[in-house]
Amino acid sequence: MDKKIARPHTRRLVQLYAALLYNANLKGFIDGHIYSGNLKAACVPGFNCYSCPGAIASCPLGSLQNALNAAGHTAPWYVMGILALFGVILGRTICGWICPLGLIQELLHRIPTRKIRKSRITRMLSWLKYVLLAVFVVAIPLIWGVGKGVILPGFCKYICPAGTFEGAVGLLQNPANATSFYQLGALFTNKWVIMIVIGLACIFCYRSFCRFICPLGAIYGFFNRFALTGVKVNPDRCNGCGLCVMKCEMDVKHVGDHECISCGRCISACAQGAISLKCGKITLLGPETGKKADPEPEIRKRKKAGRVAWGIAIAVLVFAVAWFNFIEPAIDRSNVPAAAVTEQPVQAGTETEAGTQGEASGSEEKNEPAAASANLIVGTEIGNLLPDFTTELLSGETFRLSDCRGRVVIINFWGTTCAPCVAELPYYEQLKVQYPDVEILAIHNRAGAKKAQAFLEDKGWDHLDFALDSKEKGLLPLLNAADAMPQTIILDRQGVVVYNAQAPLTYEKLEVLYRQALEH
């Protein structure tokens, strides 16, 4: 086989590189956890699901929906500014070069079958993505978020194939997330069917998702006309033959319009050498015409620049893989927050100042829970004594678990972007009103925690204690909470775990669990 034909072209290598860089958290696929470090607050340019176990940052489309959902509390300027920055610099070059979903579509299209060529019908269908952008990305999150106070990222929830494949399948295939299968219902089935249909469509029709469905491509298409990077036509060389549009598999009317992904196919198709991929005045990919006739020093200089660029890129990738899989986890383990973990109850028979005072005063009832829980294994499994911890509440007060001995304690892990979490919180409020003796602590996941307080301001859940997790506090790792939410841990009056599961609860179920813990 001709080695030149077998060698992957530059764009394919860049696509593969981007997919690896976006998902550099390789250990996430092994342990089944989502990366939640500081970089997760940032967005990558291309389409890549936030919930993918390997994802090191957020998807810009998901971030936009969540920002619009919270528009009643904070303006989504940050996400809109990031999208505008990506658009102005790269435009839809992102789609053609650094979008992992674009790579998957092109690989599917390589499966040998009869192909559907572009036509007037495909050009009409290409406008569908703008409708989906308006309805599912903008209207639904705004209406539900501002009008009803409910988190509902419409496109992510009802359509996104990347969320189904990278997020749901990527997490559920890991045995560590076996308890999350309760989430698989009619909605997942519908999204699975949508994903299969889109995948099949990509086999027969080039980049079907990109051309007809992707709202992110629609957004970047608005910037194509004035983006710094993209394919440019030299009018002095162009003879208007239209061969570039004929060879292009996207639904373009002319080179560089809103449907153009700057893949560069038109560069090699143009016999006049009139088209090139540029970033400002820098030519990134030029026509082959005349290259062979360049002076030898110029050819050597070009090859050297290419080797340097790839060397830097590979170094960045190696550092990213090392950082997210080895260096950052090691730093996190060495910085376990001592302030969050407090001393466990002492073993039975050990004399302490507090114990002596208790015996002297005859307060046997107060010491009964501590005595009953002594000698238990400290952990988060049912039957274990939950690790003691201290944390600051949003109210400004301090919560210490050991202070709650003698009462049933319910710890709920939630997030503003988790619809089932938000839906069940009123049940905890209702339980607290009905049974004032129960202690309920709702801990917000570290992702998006900064927006939680604004989100809670007008909810009226005044009887609940809310706390925010962070890398410094480390509450979720300490309590072995999973990435999938909601999760609830219920302790009996001795601090022993009697319930620990990832599942949304109804009020009736919550009340039954509370009564069982009370009688335990």
Phi-psi region of 396 (alpha: psi -120 to 50; beta: other; left: phi over 0): left
Contact 319, 21 (CB under 8 A): no
Question: Is pLDDT of 347 > 50?
Answer: no
Higher pLDDT, 123 or 294: 123
* Coil, strand or helix at 242: coil
Q: Given this model, what pLDDT does residue 75 score?
A: 67
Quick one: pLDDT at residue 361? 40
pLDDT tens track for 509-519: 999 999 999 99
**Other Cβ atoms within 10 Å of 359 Cβ, number:** 12
420/207: higher pLDDT: 207
Give the three-class secondary structure for 20: helix
Read off the pTM: 0.80
Long-range contacts of range 359-366, CB-CB < 8 Å, 24 or more positions apart?
Answer: 366/406
Q: Sorting pLDDT into bands at 50, 70 and 90, what band is 2?
A: very low
Distance CA 302, CA 476 (A): 51
For residue 389, what is the DSSP state? B
pLDDT of res. 340: 47
477's tokens: 């790792």
Residue 344 clears pLDDT 60, i.e. is over it: no
- Region of poorest pLDDT, from 138-142, 285-289, 357-361, 396-400: 357-361
The string of pLDDT tens digits covering residues 166-185 is 988 988 888 877 767 766 78
Q: What are the structure tokens assigned to 502, written together?
A: 């990832």
Measure the CA dihedral 267/273/275/278, to 10°: 90
**Structural tokens at position 59:** 């998807």
* Model pLDDT, residue 503: 83
219 near 87, Cβ under 8 Å? yes
pLDDT of 291: 59
The pLDDT value given to residue 287: 83
Name the H helices within 262-351: 265-269, 296-322, 328-334
Across residues 426-443, what is the average pLDDT?
Answer: 96
Residues 193-235: tens digit of each pLDDT: 999 999 999 999 999 999 999 999 999 999 999 999 999 999 9
> What would the pLDDT profile of 365-385 be if each residue is shown by its tens digit?
444 545 455 578 999 999 999
For residue 368, give both structure tokens.
């009964």
Using the predicted structure, report yes or no on whether residue 351 has a pLDDT greater than 90: no
